[in-house]
Structure 1
Amino acid sequence: MGVASSDKAVVALMGLAAAIFIIYRIYIWLQSSPRSFIRDRVPLNKVIQPHPSIGLLEDAGYEVVGGKLKIPLAFQVDGAPMYSRLFIDYVAVRDEERFYLVILSRPRKELEFTGSGLRDTLLPYLLIYPDCSGVLYVDTVNSRLHVIEFGKDDGESG
């Protein structure tokens, strides 16, 4: 009878280990979903102000999941504090897998579509949110969407 109860204890321990493993894997799977990932990485603003660009984004297959974000920045220059901020107009998701920061064009601050212009304007966003898939730049004057994805140059392009 002692052998049978020890067999039951081993089977019970194996069952408990399997249950813990399954619960842990489900937890990891839920945490890796795009919505959870975005929530952990980007502070989503639930207030999404209506704008014609939302329709343009939706027509292109994106879902707007967050509204305007203000990212405060602080610097110390020779011991003196300096402050600035970056703005993200929306956060959008495509195919539940990739999230993009959305920036609307501004009349006084047009995006220069050159390598250095894109670098100077968009690099701060990449550094703050390195896991984003890129930036969706909406030309509000011409109702045009530009998908700008980040990548590294391998040094081969002169």
Structure 2
Amino acid sequence: MEGQYDKVVIVFFGLIVLIWIVYGVRKWLQDPAPEHMPELLLNEEIQEHPALYILEREGYEVIGGKLKVPLSFQVNQNTLYSRLFIDYVAEKEDEVYIVKISKSRMKVEWTGSGVRDRMLLYLLLYPACDGLLYVDTEEETIKRITLLDEDDYLYDPGDE
């Protein structure tokens, strides 16, 4: 009988630790991600460009000029620096968009992976924006790019 009390105490403490771990993991999964995304600042200086006329023709109001977003990365003990450029910030019907202008030397491949590789970082950097506008100055068109919620599409991994 003496050894059974030890087993009961060990099982009791094991259950308490297990409940504590399950509660901690559940709370961690339900908590929103910490807000460490930069706020979208507006540059009051808007430089002239043919893309401005294309945006205005389509009903967009340009509310911010070129932005430089500084980035820094820690790789092992080295700090690496880079930057992203946003050409304009535009608004239409209370929706705010980041604007990227086409460059002849950097063509976009209009496939899922092409858009992901070239545009996703902007959409993730400023998730409060309603999307990204890609202005093709050669074709004088605008492509509106937004991220879909997982409920908006059906993905079958067997499709790949």
Following superposition of structure 1 onto structure 2, how do residues 6-155 of structure 1 map, counting pairs within 5 Å? 41-95=39-93, 97-154=94-151
Task: Tell me the distance in 2 between the aligned counterparts of 1:73 and 1:110.
Answer: 23
Give TM-score, length-normalised by structure 1: 0.70
Quick check: which has more Rg, 1 or 2? 2
Task: Tell me the distance in 2 between the aligned counterparts of 1:110 and 1:89.
Answer: 16
Task: Tell me the distance in 2 between the aligned counterparts of 1:41 and 1:59.
Answer: 28
Query: How high is the sequence identity, in percent, across the aligned residues?
Result: 49
* Equivalent in the alignment of 2:13: none
Shifted more, 56-65 versus 142-151: the winner is 142-151
- Residue 84 of structure 1: how far off its partner (Å): 1.2
CA, structure 1 residues 108+153, in 2 after alignment: closer, same or farther (shift >3 Å)?
farther
Q: Please, which runs of 5 or more residues in structure 1 have no aligned partner?
A: 1-39
- Residue 157 of structure 1: how far off its partner (Å): 2.9
Partner SS, residue 121 of structure 1: helix
- Residue 117 of structure 1: how far off its partner (Å): 1.1
Give TM-score, length-normalised by structure 2: 0.69
Q: Is the 8 A contact 2:123 2:146 kept in 1?
A: no
Q: Please, which runs of 5 or more residues in structure 2 have no aligned partner?
A: 1-37
Task: Tell me the distance in 2 between the aligned counterparts of 1:41 and 1:99.
Answer: 13
- What is the CA deviation profile of residues 43-81 of structure 1, one whole-angstrom value per residue up to 9, with x for unaligned ones? 100000011111110111100000000101100111101
Q: Which amino acid aligns with 2:55?
A: L
